[in-house]
Structure 1
């Protein structure tokens, strides 16, 4: 539009430091509410509860097989050790006789150790039994891996479907948000929430869900097996649980805020980069590369410090858990050795218990190390939920009214509007636009010209009064119906990646090829299209880089022509075309405006001399209205604007 958002609503947008050179002085992010946001994130998995039950069942089977493995390997060790000891004993005697003989000779330590074993003197290792035990141990580990793979496969589908629905929810939410939401936020930060934060949520769910379920089940299964083997050693291992929880909580508490800062700074840096790239030519023109680089370096440094701090502090969890696990390993090895020496346990049972102690501390360490991943994911989720919780535009009425016909009679009745409560902009504005009239709106920057158009389109809701289109209050119409009756051509052109034909047909997708060509010829698009290599099939990039600015403007005008609206809004629509093309476009627009209401926002008064009615706005009010000749003769505000544009340059030349 011909006026920036800041001119009509200066208080609506947080200070950003002035275009591509300004600072990103955004308000600080609120502290992370980990519990509430985490519960809400888990709630997004509710539609997948049956699949989650399957994942849990597969995890139970996988963990059960994995937990039974060390017990079988312990039995194998017992067979080997017992066989070696049995081989050393004299054949023909019994285990009881050997033990009695050792006690009689005073070697009670060996007697106690042998009493806890199953021996057959002179027999040696039972390789048949050992082979059977090892086969079943291998089978258990293979089956555990197969079920673990199935669990990961199913879980991957759950996470991706959940993220798919989340992206759909975000897309639908964006379409329901009012224009004021986007006016107040940098586009780069919004894009970061939709892309980076959603990807981080996906990664966090993918990695944490599987590990959380597997680790918890492993801890439970290992505790059961440890108590079956030795209650004493199990109690020693359980000492680590409260210690692990305390250390994890202390570290996680410090890293939460840093993760919030990491993703906030990521969004702000994206916003800064997007802003700089958009105004790249302006940066070059004013030679502000150095300032832009300094701003980028400063923000990049903030992101580095937040990311480094978050990852470093949360990364302390795993080494701390490993240290505690090693202490428990030593304690169990010493206590287990004493148990074997006393005959209370066999060597294979101690070996199995040591394996279980590693299996016990490893999932605890994994749960601790996942704290940084979970915090990062929940921090991103909170940013996404902040978007999803944003106030939406009011819903359309279920029993909406529809005007009869497409005449384009527009009436403003005592319309008042303000962007902020303490700064009135438009007050008690009334006007009538009859079908077929061309109404020009002129005035200084910030007078409310663009705001008037925004109110027509219901981009913003009025505070009081009514706007009627063909006798129906626009507030009683659906936005889709209202906007389908209006066509708008902006000063800032917008084209999407696609062919020239597709860009023109965007105004009315169901148009025929003949209608598209007629619109192109009427707006003189056809004149330059044939000079392009592929004609109407020429593919444009999203910036329209392979056509000139004037040609882009003509394409947007052709799009509006094709839509054939009852109300046409032209916001400095010919500002990017040359003088000759402007004359041709003005002629084409005259044909288009027949029997349709046209609003023309103009800074160049030469383009609106033939308007049926000229409205002169100042501070949100219509201070003058009339034809070009009448307003000049009145010698008021319009005369002053006209003199400023034409008389002053003539005086300068003289």
Structure 2
């Protein structure tokens, strides 16, 4: 994949005026410089050169000022382009389907937002601008050189054509090497993110050297890719020297012989040679810009690969059909698979009544977490229907649906920031009274009284300043603050000691009066607290009822309780 004109113009959206202004200023500076050899020509042939010299100095000063302004505008446009690409990438990355996060490593996605978006600045702000100004300036220099001496110009053209052939050969290799280097840098970032996220496990397993070797391998691959690109790019500079300096020597030799033979004037030769000096700029700019743009192609491809992934759709394609007195949540013959020919859910059907505490139990791999993922619409079922309050989930926008469903994960991610920022994450407009309600409901009052700054205490990276039980209760309070109609809890007591578990059970009983609870449960105490127990086995519900009822009627339920024997 290469970056075509339409692709570049799309990336320039919102910055075309600045890039156009930079090009115009660069052309103005070039025009000021192109006039100077003609003035030198007049100085050589003039009896009173004073006024011409003054004009020459003025033009040179104006050229310097205009060129400096153009360079600043190019830099400004480049940074603006990088900012725009990063903002679009961030918005896009946060709205991808969950399956996309399963296929891509987080560190690699981070690399595309950081390193790759910066590299794109070379492609657009520097490569494109230099290519445009170099081409137009080259056209002006060529016209004036043809006007002065077309025969000498043919000599220059032959040398430039030879250099162009050399540059064309290496450009393809630069593009390939650029893509390899960007991919290797992405893999290195992903490996580093993997190690830092699990740094305590790394240290406890004495795996620092192994992780260093793994990350270093990615760094070396990126180094080798960049080195291949540098070797190819190094060919461009000698090619430019061949085109300009080589032709300068040849023109000086041929032109000097012609002046000595009376077939040309010294003033014309001096002006032509000055234009050859000016030729270094546009020819070098044009060749180097092509090399720079090829270096940006790898980053462009990696960014567009991510942007091409469709985002999660939030539209409601059809109006809802009213259903009288429906259950709050209903699965009807739902089938789902992550991979072809390996179904996880097989015709799953069950109901969750309003304001009811329901426990979902089953062995590992039975499909419990998949049920939660489908309820949250992280994935859509392959077939069957899922209804919330009598409405098919596809008939409701994802954002609207998620305002009615809360989720507390087993590993309870706590964001970097204060406890207040974590609690109000799903309800940023919540007031002090609402905060006080969920703090009490989740039994966080004692914790906050011990912290130096209460709700404004930093939670630490990934909440590591808190215990596992404290993180669990904060996640529950965060979900309750949004007042969901259905709250999903993935084994909420897994990380709690006996005292905290008892406090949480009281919270769950009180919460059941506000919304329905669907709890993935393994502990006997969590299962007993439920009004209804659903037994899931190989993607199907095999038994439904209360705890005591299932003890009498379900062999599978009794076997599960034996596997998860505990308080």
- Asked whether 1:214 is paired with 2:182, we answer no
Q: 1:461 matched to which residue of 2?
A: 380
How do 1:343-358 and structure 2 match up within 5 A? 343-358=262-277
Equivalence for 1:76 = 43
- 1:43 equivalenced with 2:10 (yes/no): yes
Equivalent residue number for residue 7 of structure 1: none
Q: Which residue of structure 2 lines up, in the alignment, with residue 245 of structure 1?
A: 164
Question: Is 1:434–2:402 an aligned residue pair?
Answer: no
Aligned-partner SS, 1:226: helix
> How much has 1:405 moved relative to structure 2?
12
1:507 aligned residue (426, 434, 457): 426
Cα contact 2:36–2:59 (8 A) shared by 1: yes
Work out which of the residue numbers 255, 264, 267 in structure 2 matches 1:336: 255
Matching residue of 2:178? 259
- What CA distance in whole angstroms lies between the structure 1 residues aligned with 2:122 and 2:295? 10
Aligned partners of 2:20, 2:119: CA distance in 1, in Å? 24
Q: For the residues of structure 2 that align with 1:408 and 1:73, how far apart are their CA atoms?
A: 91
Q: Following superposition of structure 1 onto structure 2, how do residues 90-101 of structure 1 map, counting pairs within 5 Å? A: none
Distance 1:277 1:593, change over 3 A: same
Runs of 4+ in 1 over 6 A off after TM superposition: 402-408
How far the C-alpha of 1:596 sits from its partner, in A, is 2.3
User: Matches of 1:588 and 1:194 in 2, distance apart?
Assistant: 41
Output one character per residue of 1:138-160: Cα deviation in whole Å (capped at 9) or x when no partner.
11122222222333344344434
Is 2:30 the counterpart of 1:63?
Answer: yes
- In the TM superposition, what are the counterparts of 1:263-278 in structure 2 within 5 Å? 263-278=182-197
Structure 1 segment 594-605 matched on structure 2, within 5 A:
594-605=513-524
Q: Is the Cα–Cα contact under 8 Å of residues 488 and 519 in structure 2 kept in the other structure?
A: yes
How much has 1:275 moved relative to structure 2? 0.6
Q: Secondary structure at the match of 1:176?
A: coil
Say if 1:504 and 1:559, in contact at 8 Å, map to a contact too: yes
Aligned to 1:586: 505
Residues 104-142 of structure 1 deviation map (CA, whole Å, 9 limit, x = unaligned): xxxxxxxxxxxxxxxxxxxxxx4xx22222211111122
Q: Quick one: distance in 2 between partners of 1:463 and 1:437?
A: 28
SS in 1 for 2:350: strand
Shift of 1:540: 3.1
Contact 1:177 1:391 in 2 (8 A): yes
* In the alignment, structure 1 residue 538 sits paired with structure 2 residue 453: no
Would you say the 8 A contact 2:313–2:398 is kept in 1?
A: no
Deviations 1:348-395 (A, max 9, x none): 332222221122244222322233321121211111111111133344
Paired residues, number: 567
Q: Aligned residue for 1:493?
A: 412
Structure-2 change in CA distance of 1:77 and 1:384 (3 Å): same
Which residues of structure 2 form unaligned runs of 5+?
A: none
Q: Does 1:480 align with 2:381?
A: no
Secondary structure in 1 matching 2:333: strand
Deviations 1:435-492 (A, max 9, x none): 1221111222211101001111111111111111111111111111211111111112
Residue of structure 2 equivalent to 1:34: 2
RMSD: 2.4
2:87 to 155, 168, 176: 168
Q: Is the 8 A contact 1:411 1:468 kept in 2?
A: yes
CA offset digits 1:204-236 (Å, max 9, x no partner): 423223322332222111112212221111111
Q: Residue 415 of structure 2: SS of its match in structure 1?
A: coil
The 1-side partners of 2:412 and 2:562 are apart by 30
Tell me the TM-score normalized by structure 1. Answer: 0.82
Write the distance in 1 (CA, Å) between the matches of 2:76 and 2:213. Answer: 44
- Alignment partners' CA distance in 1, 2:459 and 2:270: 69
Within the candidate set 463, 472, 490, 1:553 is matched to 472
1:508, distance to aligned residue in structure 2 (A): 2.1
Between the aligned partners of 2:321 and 2:186, the Cα distance in structure 1 is 42
Query: 1:496 Cα shift?
Result: 2.6
Q: 1:403 to 1:382 in 2, by over 3 A?
A: farther
**Residues 293 and 537 (structure 1), Cα distance of their counterparts in 2 relative to 1, 3 Å cut:** closer
Partners of 1:180 and 1:211 in 2: how far apart? 41
Q: Is the 8 A contact 1:408 1:597 kept in 2?
A: no
8 A Cα contact 1:269 1:296, kept in partner: yes
Distance 1:479 1:404, change over 3 A: farther
Aligned counterparts of 2:75 and 2:208: Cα–Cα separation in 1: 45
Question: Given the alignment of the two structures, is residue 225 of structure 1 paired with residue 144 of structure 2, yes or no?
Answer: yes
Distance in 2, matches of 1:395 and 1:507, equals 18
Q: Secondary structure at the match of 1:221?
A: helix
Equivalent positions of 1:265-414 (< 5 A) are: 265-397=184-316, 400-401=319-320, 409-414=328-333
The structural deviation recorded for 1:333 is 0.7
Instruction: Give unmatched runs, 5+ long, in structure 1.
Output: 1-32, 80-125, 650-654
Q: Do the aligned residues in 1 keep the contact of 2:41 with 2:270 (CA within 8 Å)?
A: yes
Separation of aligned partners in 2, 1:403 and 1:162: 48
| 8 A Cα contact 1:218 1:359, kept in partner | no
Matches within 5 A, 1:92-241: 126=47, 129-241=48-160
**Maintained 8 Å contact 2:415/2:461:** yes
Shift of 1:241: 3.1
How far 1:542 sits from its partner (Å)?
4.2
Contact 1:78–1:346 at 8 Å: present in 2 too?
no
- What SS does the corresponding residue of 1:462 show, helix, strand or coil? coil
Segment of structure 1 superposing worse, 495-504 or 613-622? 495-504
Provide the C-alpha distance between the structure 2 equivalents of 1:297 and 1:523, rounded to a whole number of angstroms: 45
Equivalent pair of 2:173/2:232 in contact (CA under 8 Å): yes
Between the aligned partners of 1:280 and 1:584, the Cα distance in structure 2 is: 31
Q: Return closer, same or farther for 1:372/1:199 CA change in 2, 3 Å cut-off.
A: same
Asked if the contact 2:74–2:126 (Cα under 8 Å) also holds between the matched residues in 1, the reply is: no
**C-alpha distance in structure 2 between counterparts of 1:458 and 1:602, whole Å:** 21
Task: Name the CA shift for 1:265/1:69 in 2 (closer, same or farther; >3 Å).
Answer: same
Q: 8 Å contact 1:75–1:349 — kept in the other structure?
A: no
What is the TM-score normalised by the length of structure 2? 0.94
Supply the distance in 2 between the matched residues of 1:152 and 1:361 (Cα, whole angstroms).
18
Instruction: Give the distance between the partners of 2:130 and 2:498, measured in 1 at CA.
Output: 68
Paired residues of 2:163 and 2:242 also in contact (CA < 8 A) = no
Question: Secondary structure of the residue that 2:402 maps to in structure 1?
Answer: helix
